[in-house]
Amino acid sequence: MEALSDLSTFAKILTDKGYNGYFHTQGSYAGKLKDSISEHLESCQKGADTLPKQDLLLTGYLQWSGDDKPRVECSMWVKYLNGKFSLSRMEVAKKDGFGQLLKKSELANLSVMSAPKLTEAVALVNDAPKQQAGKSPKRFKL
């Protein structure tokens, strides 16, 4: 059984792995990882929102170059139990400039410690650069 972490520890581990961009918790509450989760939980305490029966869903971009360029999106399902957090699964998807799925990778049975670093997660969906045949600069002209 995976050890559960408090919010500060959970967010620090993922931030140290490179997940330092902006996320949404349950489709709203945009902000850095810890801030987004904190705002959602505060909203739940005030009664403006409710905790999901299943896991919290965190979504964000791992790689963004503009609206019309390919991007890498990440979804994380986080278990929340008595103020403690654990990462259960992650989905990394590369989409084109129109939002069409190009490649997707799902990681299950994760823990916050076994989660890949951001660069490793992006590499799961980015194609390896293709080797180009080198052209000889010297050519004979007739």
Task: Assess whether pLDDT exceeds 60 at residue 136.
Answer: no
Give the count of domains, the chain: 1
Query: Would residue 2 count as lying in a domain?
Result: no
Q: How many CB atoms lie within 10 A of CB 136?
A: 6
Query: Would residue 135 count as lying in a domain?
Result: no
Write out the residue range of the structural domain in which residue 92 sits.
7-125
Provide the mean pLDDT of the chain: 86
Q: What is the pLDDT of residues 70-115, one digit of tens each?
A: 999 999 999 988 888 999 999 999 999 898 999 999 999 888 889 9
Query: Would residue 63 count as lying in a domain?
Result: yes
The count of C-alpha atoms lying within 13 angstroms of the C-alpha of 95, restricted to the half-sphere facing its C-beta, is 17
Rounded Cα gap, residues 125 and 105, in angstroms = 7
| Stated pTM of the model | 0.81
Query: Would residue 139 count as lying in a domain?
Result: no
Query: Would residue 18 count as lying in a domain?
Result: yes
From 28, 118, 41, select the one nearest 72 (Cα to Cα). 118
Query: Would residue 140 count as lying in a domain?
Result: no
Query: Would residue 131 count as lying in a domain?
Result: no
Query: Would residue 84 count as lying in a domain?
Result: yes
